[in-house]
Amino acid sequence: MKPGNHEHRIEPDPDIQPIGVEQGDPIPDPPALPGMVEAFDESESVLDRLASNLVVHALECVRRFGDFQLALSGGSTPMPLYQRLMIDPAYRRMPWRKTHLWIVDERRVPFDDDRSNFKHIKEIIGDHSDIPENQVHPIEATRDDAAESYEKTLQEVLGWREKGQDRLDFVLLGMGPDGHTASLFPNSRALDVDDRLVTLNDGPTVVPPDRVTMTYKLINASRMIVPLVMGKGKAEMIHRVATGDDGSHEIPIKGIKPIGGQLAWYLDTAACGKG
Ligand code: 6PG
């Protein structure tokens, strides 16, 4: 998984039809965030747009690589997206059988703890899609070697891909009001880890319990990085990301800079500070 200068985008496949769902009107003049910004009035439209693009990207990756490497975040914002993907017939083309499901970050609690991201993602997706069990990759967060062992699994699975393509295809991120993303919290030690794909994180700025998280190195090497940010509690931080000159230690999401891949933000009106 070596960063290189080559492009990781894949060209749209003309044989793959777009998903036909109603989508609302985009918000004019969304915040000037780095990368692409998709912003809609209604949170429903944000979720539909994101779900449609996710399914098409998944189909393109399966066509091109034979599988789709998807990493999902926890938190409350993306749960309705996961539900929509499972329930809405519009998304039944999602190639779950060819998908590997990864977890972006995890609290260091057992799987049956309500704070476990995997618990919720498994209940919504793992248990109700036809994704094969051996393609679902929880972080065994309570193990001492949780980070090393997850990194090893990532390398083993992605190692089947051709060199240069051995990367995650789609990483769904959230953002906290403090600007954290994944479990990369302001001024925390995980921000400086540049030689690992996964690491532990703790310290005064890390909202307890301690965490295991994908690093910038892994996330930034991905083909598609997608922060989904909704609600007025996030508006001030979105404004700072778009206009301020803070660095990534103050605002960790500013350290998300794809190497050859694409960054696409999905926002609702409230997160844009409008409405
Ligand atoms: C987690 C996350 C974290 C999350 C943000 C936003 O496990 O909590 O991966 O980075 O995405 O804290 O969370 P909300 O969606 O709940 O606001």
Task: Give the tens place of pLDDT for each residue, 77-120.
Answer: 999 999 999 999 999 999 999 999 999 999 999 999 999 999 99
AA identity, residue 138: P
Tell how strand 68-72 and strand 99-103 pair up: parallel
AA identity, residue 91: Y
The Cα 165–Cα 111 span in angstroms is: 31
For ligand 1, the distance from its centroid to the CA atom of residue 123, given in whole angstroms, is: 17
The Cα 144–Cα 7 span in angstroms is: 36
Q: What is the side-by-side order of every strand in the sheet holding 105-107?
A: 105-107, 211-214, 198-201
| Domain boundaries, position 149 | 36-268
Q: Does some domain include residue 30?
A: no
**Residue 3 clears pLDDT 80, i.e. is over it:** no
What backbone torsions phi and psi does residue 57 show, to the nearest 5 degrees? -60, -40
Atom of ligand 1 nearest to the CA of 76: 16
Atom of ligand 1 nearest to the CA of 233: 17
Atom of ligand 1 nearest to the CA of 234: 17
For ligand 1, the distance from its centroid to the CA atom of residue 8, given in whole angstroms, is: 26
**Residue 181 clears pLDDT 80, i.e. is over it:** yes
Q: What is the pLDDT confidence band of residue 18, given thresholds at 50, 70 and 90?
A: confident
The Cα 114–Cα 121 span in angstroms is: 11
What average pLDDT score do residues 10-37 get? 84
Q: What is the pLDDT confidence band of residue 1, given thresholds at 50, 70 and 90?
A: low
Q: Is 267 helix (H, G, I), strand (E, B) or coil?
A: strand
What average pLDDT score do residues 180-208 get? 98
Q: Does some domain include residue 203?
A: yes
pLDDT of residue 191: 98
Q: Output the residue whose Cα is nearest ligand 1's atom 13.
A: 75
Q: What is the pLDDT confidence band of residue 58, given thresholds at 50, 70 and 90?
A: very high
Separation of CA 8 from chain center: 16
Lowest mean pLDDT among 24-38, 170-184, 197-211: 24-38
Contact 159, 100 (CB under 8 A): no
Task: Give the tens place of pLDDT for each residue, 199-237.
Answer: 999 999 999 999 999 999 999 999 999 999 999 999 999
**Which residue out of 43, 50, 105 has the highest number of ligand 1 atoms within 8 Å of its CB and is therefore the one to mutate?**
105
Q: Is 254 helix (H, G, I), strand (E, B) or coil?
A: helix
The Cα 41–Cα 145 span in angstroms is: 44
**Which residue out of 81, 113, 139, 175 has the highest number of ligand 1 atoms within 8 Å of its CB and is therefore the one to mutate?**
175
For ligand 1, the distance from its centroid to the CA atom of residue 104, given in whole angstroms, is: 10
Contact 70, 129 (CB under 8 A): no
For ligand 1, the distance from its centroid to the CA atom of residue 73, given in whole angstroms, is: 7
Q: Does some domain include residue 19?
A: no
For ligand 1, the distance from its centroid to the CA atom of residue 125, given in whole angstroms, is: 18
Q: Does some domain include residue 82?
A: yes
Contact 138, 120 (CB under 8 A): no
Sorted by sequence, the CB contacts under 8 Å of residue 117 that are 6+ apart come out as 72, 73, 74, 75, 103, 104, 105, 106, 107
Q: What is the pLDDT confidence band of residue 10, given thresholds at 50, 70 and 90?
A: confident
Q: Does some domain include residue 129?
A: yes
Q: Does some domain include residue 21?
A: no
**Residue 68 clears pLDDT 80, i.e. is over it:** yes
What average pLDDT score do residues 120-140 get? 96
Average pLDDT of every residue of the chain:
94
Q: Does some domain include residue 167?
A: yes
**Residue 6 clears pLDDT 80, i.e. is over it:** no
What average pLDDT score do residues 54-76 get? 96
Atom of ligand 1 nearest to the CA of 117: 7
Atom of ligand 1 nearest to the CA of 182: 10
pLDDT of residue 4: 46
**Residue 163 clears pLDDT 50, i.e. is over it:** yes
**Residue 69 clears pLDDT 60, i.e. is over it:** yes
* Total domains, the chain: 1
Sorted by sequence, the CB contacts under 8 Å of residue 168 that are 6+ apart come out as 69, 70, 71, 102, 158, 218, 219, 221, 222, 223
Q: Output the residue whose Cα is nearest ligand 1's atom 10.
A: 182
Q: What is the pLDDT confidence band of residue 127, given thresholds at 50, 70 and 90?
A: confident
Q: Write the CATH number for 108.
A: 3.40.50.1360
pLDDT of residue 20: 74
Q: Does some domain include residue 4?
A: no
